[in-house]
């Protein structure tokens, strides 16, 4: 396991808590952004001639400011909770290209080019296609996965994800290019990141030897993409549209960017993700079919 230890090596700055310093810096940026949005809103209100409508606009701007500041606090509290789990070290995974392999065959997340996974939830359908394309990120050749979401048969999200597996069997997440769409037009690219660009860093999407209690970053793009995962079970049985699976890996996934959002994900051996349960709404996203390769 020497290679694994090297991959997770980090530098601790004497007398400093890098994790909490990061959380505090992000908090300051969030507050500044909220105040900036408030100032712009007041500028728009100033151009409303009707005094009653102008006052209503100003009141709404104040309410929006308070909501935004509350969200900043919630995000900060969530980041500090992550720090309590991960410690004080800088998050600086050592990525050595020669430590990665061409094939992603982790039992809980095999990504074989040419394979299509089809998922259904109460409101959406989701098609995940492992392409034959690759992309070099941070010097590592990554497998490209095309993830599309359809609502009412209409494309509403279109994403390219990039993964690579190290020699120990850990599957890393190196970035994504995501678009949310409405009426065929892109409405946001929030969440898009690329390891090695603008301080963004890869994370572990699936560990080689997951153990109950493992807690780790899946991605790190501050204030943009900060998903974390915890292994909570290795023995779950799951029944979904595509069949019944035993001894599934169950994770709890959270993000400081959405402190109230929580998901359980279930992974079956030699298949991958078979079920996602939104713990807020109760919605289930089930694997319906695996096609190919």
pLDDT digits (tens, 9 = 90+) for 79-98: 999 999 999 999 999 999 99
| Mean pLDDT value of segment 255-266 | 96
Q: What are phi and psi of 110, to 5 degrees?
A: -75, 130
- As a whole-number percent, the residues of the chain with pLDDT over 70 amount to 95
Q: What are the pLDDT digits (tens) for 264-282?
A: 999 999 999 999 999 999 9
Look at strands 228-240 and 215-217 and give their pairing. antiparallel
Helix (H, G, I), strand (E, B), or coil: what is residue 20?
A: helix
Q: How far apart are CA 166 and CA 188, in angstroms?
A: 32
Residue pair 290/271 in contact (Cβ under 8 Å)? The answer is yes
| Mean pLDDT value of segment 48-52 | 97
- As a whole-number percent, the residues of the chain with pLDDT over 90 amount to 93
Q: What are the pLDDT digits (tens) for 104-117?
A: 999 999 999 999 99
Q: Is the pLDDT of residue 13 over 80?
A: no
Q: What are phi and psi of 37, to 5 degrees?
A: -60, -35
- At 2 the pLDDT is 36
Helix (H, G, I), strand (E, B), or coil: what is residue 22?
A: helix
Q: Pick from 43, 39, 8, 52: which is nearest to 209 by CA?
A: 8
Q: What is the dihedral of CA 19, 23, 25, 30, to 10 degrees?
A: 160
Q: Is the pLDDT of residue 14 over 80?
A: no
- At 15 the pLDDT is 44
Helix (H, G, I), strand (E, B), or coil: what is residue 257?
A: coil
- Please provide the DSSP assignment of 53-107 as one string: HHHHHHHHHHHHHHHHHHHHHHHHHHHHHHHHHH-SS-------GGGEES----T
DSSP assignment letter at 121: -
Residue pair 57/113 in contact (Cβ under 8 Å)? The answer is no
* Element holding 39 (H helix, E strand): helix 18-45
Q: Is the pLDDT of residue 77 over 60?
A: yes
Omega of the bond prior to 293 within 30 degrees of 0, cis?
yes
Each residue of 115-151: b (16+ CB within 10 Å) or e? bebbbbbeeebbbbbbeeeebebbebebbbbebebee
Residue pair 200/136 in contact (Cβ under 8 Å)? The answer is no
Look at strands 100-101 and 219-220 and give their pairing. unpaired
Q: How far apart are CA 147 and CA 126, in angstroms?
A: 7
- Please provide the DSSP assignment of 195-227 as one string: TTSTT-EEEEEE-SS--TT-EEESEEBTTTB--
- At 292 the pLDDT is 87
- At 293 the pLDDT is 82
Bridge partners for 166 per DSSP: 100
Q: How far apart are CA 162 and CA 135, in angstroms?
A: 7
- The mean pLDDT of the chain is 93
Residue pair 87/108 in contact (Cβ under 8 Å)? The answer is no
| Mean pLDDT value of segment 149-168 | 96
| Mean pLDDT value of segment 7-33 | 77
Q: What are phi and psi of 123, to 5 degrees?
A: -115, -15
> pTM of the prediction?
0.88
| Mean pLDDT value of segment 57-73 | 98
Instruction: Using pLDDT thresholds of 50, 70 and 90, give the confidence band for residue 16.
Output: confident
Q: Is the pLDDT of residue 247 over 90?
A: yes
């Amino acid at each position: 396991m020497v290679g694994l230890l090297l991959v997770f090596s980090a530098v601790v700055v004497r007398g400093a808590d890098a994790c909490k310093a990061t959380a505090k810096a992000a908090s300051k940026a969030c507050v500044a952004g909220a105040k900036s949005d408030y100032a712009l809103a007041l500028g728009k209100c100033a151009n409303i001639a009707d005094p009653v409508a102008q006052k209503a606009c100003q009141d709404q701007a104040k309410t929006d400011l308070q909501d935004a500041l509350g969200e900043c606090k919630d995000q900060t509290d969530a980041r500090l909770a992550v720090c309590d789990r991960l410690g004080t070290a800088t998050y600086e995974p050592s990525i050595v290209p020669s430590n990665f392999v061409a094939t992603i065959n982790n039992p809980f997340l095999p990504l074989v080019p040419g394979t299509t996974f089809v998922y259904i939830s109460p409101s959406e359908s989701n098609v995940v296609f492992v392409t034959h394309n690759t992309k070099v990120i941070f010097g590592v050749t990554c497998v490209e996965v095309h993830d599309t979401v359809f609502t009412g048969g209409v494309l509403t999200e279109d994403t390219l994800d990039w993964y690579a597996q190290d020699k120990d069997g850990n599957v890393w997440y190196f970035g994504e290019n995501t678009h949310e769409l409405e009426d065929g037009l892109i409405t946001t690219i929030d969440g898009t990141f690329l390891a090695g660009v603008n301080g963004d860093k890869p994370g572990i999407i699936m560990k080689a030897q997951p153990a109950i209690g493992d807690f780790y970053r899946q991605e790190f793009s501050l204030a943009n993409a900060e998903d974390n995962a915890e292994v909570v079970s290795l023995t779950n049985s799951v029944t979904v549209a595509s069949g019944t699976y035993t001894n599934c890996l169950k994770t709890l996934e959270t993000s400081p960017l959405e402190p109230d959002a929580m998901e359980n994900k279930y992974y079956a051996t030699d298949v991958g993700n078979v079920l996602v349960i939104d713990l807020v709404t109760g919605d289930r996203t089930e694997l319906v079919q695996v096609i190919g390769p």
